[in-house]
Structures are given as structure tokens and as C-alpha cells.
Structure 1
Amino acid sequence: MLIVTDTFQQTNGVSTTYKNLRRIAKSRNIRFQVLHPSLYRWMPLPFYPEIQLNLQPCRLWRTLNRMQPSQLHIATEGLMGLVARSWCKLHHKPYTTSYHTRFPEYLALMWHIPARWTYAYLRWFHHGALSTFVTTESMRQTLLNQDFRNLVIWSRGVSEQLISPVVETAPAHKLRVLNVGRVSKEKNLDALCTYQDTFDITLVGNGPYLNELKQKYPRVHFAGYQYGQALAELYASHDVFAFPSRTDTFGIVMIEAMCNGLPVAAFDVTGPRDVVEPGFSGALHHDLKEAILHCQVLDKQAIRQKARSQWTWSHCFDTFYQHYPKSGRQTV
């Protein structure tokens, strides 16, 4: 199996997904190779420095010529993905794609680029793929309304090292509210941090909006990047997981939280709508504060048990493997 992606060495949902697929493939003795910008000369993307921009697209083309893959998966719509798509088209090789990021909404929010322009590019990019993987039914409906084709729902999983043993914590004076993810403006973190006097809020992660948030919200705890058992313990030591983003396609951190028994408070939008079961595993509300307060009475042990049986990387890999293009199938 060959994957081409514009992000792999970074901390984000895309990288997490393919690193876990590679781990499962190795356990099943299935060859799984990833081509990513770190294999070439690269520079940080100016407005998104955690993303690497491949400065040697011709070398990627030569890599594909040398490998002569009979099929591949294109994970992202950046320069690496463009080169791989062009190579497949020229050589009549079948390929699949995936839709990980809501770029039309992000670019409209951050730089006022009309969403219809971005959707036009993405519709062209994914046209011709045997399948385009999307994370949820809501995301599938959104893209169907934008005239995308051959959409396959592809869920996510949680690694065992991110699940902490059940720990009983003493009640606190304030609800302990956690958020994990990229600290950037499009994540709508102000909607959570504004309650710094109401809740004991911890943000895990880093990003271009971090320093501004620190200045605006001095009573919020900023923990930086956390990984493995340290991150699992942070999940387990809090009462509620808040997910204020309105523009995510999924949000792996929500299912990580639920696997550790944390109910999720979020807005009723794509991503949370497909992951959270209101009244059981969390609360969806137009007022994030109200959603957080509703979560405090939910059964954390029941959330943990159901989430651990539902969200597995093995199931995620099975779906991917089932739809991975087979030799001889042609693109259109």
C-alpha cells in the first residue's frame, strides 16, 4: 500500500490516522509505505508553519516513476497530492483520496476566500478517485451537496497508549474542562476560554494563536503538546472535554476523550453531531457553557466502555483496506 500525503511528521489528525494505519498494517504483515515532504527538501508553509511544503515536486515524480506503483492513496490536496494525482492520470493508475480538512470553511474564515472557489478546486481534485474517504455521514452529505462523488464513510480509532486506567479524582471547586488540539484561530477556542472564571480550563497543544490566547486568558492553563500516557492521564483527570470548533470534519480528540470516560461538550455541527450521543456521551448546545454544565451528570464509566468498543484503529484499517484500489481498476 502506498500513501502520498502533505503532512505526516506533524501533530494533527491526518498524521495520527496514517501512523496508526501503518502500525496496523505492520501487525498484519501488509506493506505500507508513506511518501511525505520530509523525504525531500521542504520549507514550512508560511501561514501554517507546522505543515511542510515540498520544494522538490520533480523528485516526487521521479520517485513514483522509479516505484511504478500499480495503485495508491492520495491523502491530501496540497502539492504532494497534486503531483501524485497528475502521475496517476498520466499513467492511468487507479487511486483513492480522502477529505480530512474543511479548507473551504477555514479559508473563508481566516482569509475571506469565497468557499465556492475552494470547493471548485477540491471537487476537481477528487474527481476521478475510485473512492473519496470522509469521516462522517454529515460530512458525506455536505460534500454530496457540493457535487462530490464516490464518497465512503471512514471512521477513526484510539490507541491503547492514549487510554488511562480508571482513576478516581477528588471533587474540585470548579468543573475541570479540557481541550486538546491545534491552538489556532479556526478552532474557535475563544468560545471556551471566555469561561476562564467559571471553569478550570486546560488547553493541550500548540499553534499560531497560543501567545494571543495566553495574553487574553491568564487563568487558562496551557499545557503545550502532550503525548502517550501523559496525555491519557490528562484526559482521565478532567471532568468534561470541550470541543468549540465549528469547522472540523471529525475531531479524533473527542473519541480519545470518550475512551477515557470524558463526556464531550460541543456545538451542534458536523463532527460533534456524528460522534457525540446527546444525553449519554455528551451535550450539543448553541451555548457552550450550557453544554459543559449538562455534561457533569453523565455516566463516565458507561461512556468509556461504549467508546472503547466502538472506536478502534483495526476497524478503521479494515474500511481503508476494503476500498484501497486494486490493480487493473482504472480511473475515469
Structure 2
Amino acid sequence: MKLLLVTDAWKPQVNGVVRSYLNTIPELEKMGMKVEIIHPELFKLRFALPSYNEIKVVITRKKTLKNMMDQINPDRIHIATEGPLGYLARKICLTEKKGFSTSFHTRFPEYIQQRTKIPASFFYFFIKHFHNKAKKVLVPTPSMQAELIKMKFKNTVVWSRGVNHEKFGHYQKLDLGPGPIFSYIGRVASEKNIQAFLDLDLDGTKVVVGDGPQLNKLKKKYTDVKFVGYQFGQDLVNYYASSDVMVFPSKTDTFGNVVTEANATGTPVAAYDVTGPKDIIVNGINGYIGDDLKENVMNCLNIDRKKCQEYTKKFNWYECSKVFYDNIIS
């Protein structure tokens, strides 16, 4: 069986959407599914999204994309994103009366609201319209599914995320400064609410691993914080493992891949009681969630790292890829 994945998010972007598919595709191929991908890097005419320079927006004609899709001649079509490629692929599928599935990955309406003050509900009208023609809409967590159902999204099914336990189970501890070590790992952007972490009065060392549009601003404001930029491969694993607590202050993520990655090294995670973290974190086991972020951070210092690591083994890429496979072929 041949699957066509159409996505506006792909390498070299560094985000949860790209990471999810990079880990899912090899598992699908083991199950006998051939995966072809149409992504922005295949197109010459593209421009950077304002405030997201690494995200490229494609400009192309419907005929061009249709020819690419026809050449691939897939058995199934999955549209990963609500961007220009996603919308155009959806339009082609509807015109050609071809079934397709979609995924809801990102709370773009909330991101836009933060920047423009236009209510998120206005944009959810269009997002819902995009997804409601799909045979299946894959969403990352039960709490996110519940929110979307309240907004009248149809055909939703939970497709969780995994973690590579082999990769994140081997590491070397780094000397990052006086302990405890408190880290934030992820994109450095306003929607991630990083300042809620950086403003906490904590004894020890704060480390920010990642890059993004807010990086220079935060570097200037928080001169006592170590900003180390994006880290990859074993270096990234070592930063996770060298943290006593990873702080995840976002209130807009739909899952939070970094939470399970941190846990896979034994590092507990402090977060708010919101969609994403509340589906992953069990207080006292692999982290703490609640309204008081500092209290959650301090409580995490008492967590047994071995138990944290063991609990996270329930998140694996084979199981969630099987859910993806079963819903794509149904």
C-alpha cells in the first residue's frame, strides 16, 4: 500500500510535527506501507513565514500539485497541515472525489490571537471547515480531542506520540553549572510562554535549549540564563539527562514531545494543568502539573528518576504508528 503524505512542515524545520512523522514513517514502512511525501523543499517558489523564518510557505498552482499527486498515484492520502499545500491537496481530493485523512497538530488560532488579538474562535471556523471533510482526523491527546469535539469537529481519533527509548536511554551527564539544573527545551517563541519559567525565583542554574524568534530578546533580558541554541542527536539527549527538572510552561501545545523525551532520560517535567501535559504527566511519577509552576518545579526534585523513566516506556513509536496505520487504511 502506498501512502501520500502532504505536509507544509518538513525538514529542515525543527518542531513536533516534523519529529512525529520522522519517527512514524519508519514504523509504517516496517508494516509494509510505502510512504511518499510532498513537502515545501520540493518547490522553488516559497517564502519565510513572518516571525518563523525556518517555516517556508509554498506558492504553487493547483495543476502543479495535482500532477505531482497523480504521478505518485497513492492508495491513501494523508494531509498533515492546514497550510497552503494542505489546503490545495484537500481541494484536489474533493474535486477528484478522493478520500483523505488529516491531523490536528498545532493551535494556530491561539498563536495568531497572541500576535493579532483576533479571537481564536474566528480562525477555528476555518480550521474546522478544513478538517470536517476528512474521513479521519487524527489528534494527539484525549483532552485535545474533547476540545475539538466541543467545537463540532467530526471523525476525530486519538493518535498519540512515542519516544525512542534506545536513543534517550543512553547519555552522558554535562556540567551545566551549580545545581539544581532547570531546563527549558524547545522552540523559543512567545506561544511557548518561556518567560513564566525564566521569571521563577529558583536557586541553581537555568538552561534554555532551542532557538526561535524570541531568543535575542530573552538573552538580553535574562543574562543569568544559559542559552545554548538548538542541540541535536546525542548532544540533545545529554542536555535532557543533565537536567534535574525540565520546565514546560506552554499552555498551547497539543502534546509536547519534549515531555516524553525528558522522561525517557529520567528527568521529571513541571508544567501547567493544560492540554498535552495533563494527558502525559502523573503527579509524583514523571512530573507535576498544576496552576503554581514554581511549586510543580520544586516537587519534581523529589521524584524517583528510575520510576519516571520506567513509566514513560508506555509511550513508544510502534504502538502509536499502529494506530496511525489502522486509521489510514480503514
TM-score, length-scaled by structure 2: 0.93
| Cα distance, 1:191–1:78 mapped onto 2, change above 3 Å | same
Match of 1:330 in 2: none
Please state how far the C-alpha of 1:310 moved relative to its aligned partner: 0.8
Bigger shift: residues 161-170 or 97-106? 161-170
User: Partners of 2:226 and 2:166 in 1: how far apart?
Assistant: 24
| Cα distance, 1:170–1:213 mapped onto 2, change above 3 Å | closer
Match of 1:311 in 2: 315
Match of 1:258 in 2: 263
Match of 2:126 in 1: 121
Match of 2:94 in 1: 89
Match of 1:37 in 2: 40
- Structure 2: 5+ residue runs without aligned partners? none
Bigger shift: residues 84-93 or 24-33? 24-33
**Letter of the structure 1 residue corresponding to residue 82 of structure 2:** E
Match of 1:189 in 2: 194
Match of 1:214 in 2: 219
Is 2:26 the partner of 1:20? Answer: no
Q: Secondary structure at the match of 2:34?
A: coil
Q: Secondary structure at the match of 1:294?
A: helix
1:62 to 56, 67, 91: 67
Identity, in percent, stands at 38
User: Partners of 1:249 and 1:168 in 2: how far apart?
Assistant: 30
Determine if contact 2:114/2:191 at 8 Å carries over to the other structure: yes
| Cα distance, 1:296–1:128 mapped onto 2, change above 3 Å | same
Match of 1:177 in 2: 182
Determine if contact 1:75/1:98 at 8 Å carries over to the other structure: yes
Q: Secondary structure at the match of 2:65?
A: helix
RMSD between aligned alpha carbons? 1.9
**Letter of the structure 1 residue corresponding to residue 320 of structure 2:** C
Bigger shift: residues 67-76 or 262-271? 67-76
Q: Secondary structure at the match of 2:247?
A: strand
Match of 2:146 in 1: 141
- Structure 1: 5+ residue runs without aligned partners? 327-332
2:54 to 41, 47, 50: 50
TM-score, length-scaled by structure 1: 0.93
Match of 2:209 in 1: 204
Aligned length: 325
Is 2:279 the partner of 1:274? Answer: yes
Q: Secondary structure at the match of 1:174?
A: coil
| Cα distance, 1:38–1:133 mapped onto 2, change above 3 Å | same
User: Partners of 2:19 and 2:215 in 1: how far apart?
Assistant: 22
**Letter of the structure 2 residue corresponding to residue 112 of structure 1:** K
Bigger shift: residues 188-197 or 165-174? 165-174
**Letter of the structure 1 residue corresponding to residue 10 of structure 2:** F
User: Partners of 1:276 and 1:30 in 2: how far apart?
Assistant: 32
Determine if contact 1:242/1:264 at 8 Å carries over to the other structure: yes
Determine if contact 2:200/2:294 at 8 Å carries over to the other structure: yes
Higher relative contact order (CA 8 A, sep 6+): 1
Determine if contact 1:184/1:208 at 8 Å carries over to the other structure: yes
Is 2:34 the partner of 1:11? Answer: no
